[in-house]
Amino acid sequence: MSKFKATQRVTASFAATAAALIGFQAQADDHAIDLTGKTVEWVIPFSETGGSAKWANFYAPLLSEALPGQPTVVVKFMPGAGSTKGANYFQGQEYKDGTLIFGSSGSTQFPYLLGDPRVKYEYSDWNVVLASGTGGVAYLTPELAASMDGMDATPLQGTDFIYGSQGATRLDLVPLLAWEMLGLNVEPVFGIKGRGDGRLMFERGEANIDYQTSSSYLKGVTPLVEAGTAVPMMSWGALDDDGNIVRDPTFPDMPTFKEICEATPSCETSGDQWEAWKSFFIAGFPAQKMVFLPAGAPEAAIATYSEAFEKVKARADFAEISANNLGKYPQMTGAKAKGALKSGTDVPQSAKDFVVNWLQERYGVSIK
């Protein structure tokens, strides 16, 4: 891997300023690794243009500043096979000197959970140092939203819904399953390139139901809500410390899917279907993006990176800059990140079987 990077100069000056400002903190404790003069390569298994790129580009300069020795942090894009190519590559790497990290996303987790034959990676081999959560909001056209009976979605059950989807095996699995549980007849139109295209389809009046992740909802849909052309239906919710689904702190006034489901007689918040939805929701949203060190990383390296991310979170301006780039969601480190990884990848076999079977029967998608 290349050791000479363009960004070196930038980050070097960045780091120099930072060091001058806050004073050089000695990190010579024996529980830390020193990365002075090194280049940390952050592998993102997607292209330069996606949400994970945005997330990594946001964190990279901050991480560089916070790591002992202020190494250069470069984001390396390795797209292919819906992120399994990059993840398989990372699986084949061994820990050397702490200069290789990996950023996974919900799209990396789902094929793993569904038993995609291309998956050669194993999450439990890796060492998580950061987990970033997000949420999602489903919304409707004003006429359809008005026909709902309070939180009861039963009146919508006779409507033909059109939804612009990226594919039933992606994160779209969560909204599609949720709508099906509410008894809505949603026909996904596949083949769109990103959730932004789905919103455009909604704006053009071709789709009448849609969902966006929280930050996209705030940027793209809130103006439509203000203009009266879209009405939020529900958020997916957030997890509290005990693993219960509660209202999303970003949208405290919006009911969660759980509330809507409870208010709709045909929807059950127990049983296989609910457990499957909840498992995949947890895998896809509250633990959507994670940073890993490769297999065999020593405690010192894990601690160093965890502390560096802690330090990033402790920045005075972090709340402001992260709200704009990531939304107001927990950025978890240490034990919390481990907890998020566990709940995101430790899905009961019954839930996996349910979803694999449902994909086959409902959409004819077989996981080969």
Partner 1 sequence: MDVFLSALPALGDAWGLILQPVVLGYLVLGVIMGLCIGVFPGLGGIAGLSLLLPFMFGMDPILGLALMVGMVAVVPTSDTFASVLMGIPGSSASQATVLDGFPMAKRGQAARALSAAFASSLFGGLVGATFLTVFILIARPIVLEFRTPELLMITIFGLSMVGILAGRVAIKGLVAAGLGMLIGTIGEGASSGDLRMSTYDLPYLADGLKLVIVGLGIFAIPEIISLLRQDRAISAEPQIGGGWIEGIKDWYANIWLSVRCSIIGVIVGVIPGLGGSVVDWIAYGHAVQTTKDKSNFGKGEVRGIIGPESSNNAKEGGGLVPTLLFGIPGSGSMAIFIGAIALLGSGQIEVGPAMLKNNLDITYSIVWLLALANVVGTIICIFISGGIAKLTTIRFALLAPFLFMIISFAAFQSGQNLMDLVALLAIGLLGILMRRFDWSRPAFLIGFVLSNPAETYANQALQIASSRFRKSFGEGIDYLFSPIVIVLIIITVVSVVLGLRQAKNIMAEGDVKSGSKRAPFIFLIAITGYIAFAYFNAWMIPEYSRDRVFPMFVGGVCLIGCIALIIRMMMKPETDTIFADREMDGDDATATHGLWPTLAWFAGLLILTSLFGFIIALAVFLFSFLKIRAGMSTLYCAAYTACGLAFMCAMAWLLNRDFPPGLLQGYFDLPWPFT
Chosen residue from 69, 80, 142, 334 binding partner 1 by CB under 8 A = 80
Per rule CB under 8 A, is residue 363 in the interface with partner 1? Answer: yes
d(CA 15, CA 3): 18
d(CA 42, CA 255): 37
d(CA 123, CA 290): 11
Q: At what angle do helices 106-114 and 334-345 cross, to 10 degrees?
A: 40
Pairing of strands 289-293, 127-132: antiparallel
Q: Which is nearer to partner 1, 31 or 120 (CB)?
A: 120
CB of 16 to partner 1, least distance (A): 15
Q: Which is nearer to partner 1, 7 or 147 (CB)?
A: 7
Judge contact between 179 and 209, C-beta under 8 A.
yes
Residues 219-278 that bind partner 1 (CB under 8 A): 219-220, 222-224
Chosen residue from 321, 350, 353, 362 binding partner 1 by CB under 8 A = 321
Q: Tokens 């243009």 map to which residue?
A: 49
Q: At what angle do helices 106-114 and 84-91 cross, to 10 degrees?
A: 80
Chosen residue from 12, 145, 151, 200 binding partner 1 by CB under 8 A = 200
Per rule CB under 8 A, is residue 7 in the interface with partner 1? Answer: yes
Pairing of strands 136-140, 127-132: unpaired
Binding mask 41-70 for partner 1 (x = CB under 8 A): ------xxxx--xx--xx-xx---------
CB of 29 to partner 1, least distance (A): 29
d(CA 211, CA 221): 10
| 65 alpha carbon, distance to own chain's centre | 24
Interface positions with partner 1 (CB under 8 A):
1-7, 10-11, 47-50, 53-54, 57-58, 60-61, 74, 76-78, 80-81, 84-85, 117-118, 160, 162, 167, 169, 187, 189-192, 194, 196-197, 199-201, 203-206, 216, 219-220, 222-224, 317, 320-321, 324-325, 363-365, 368
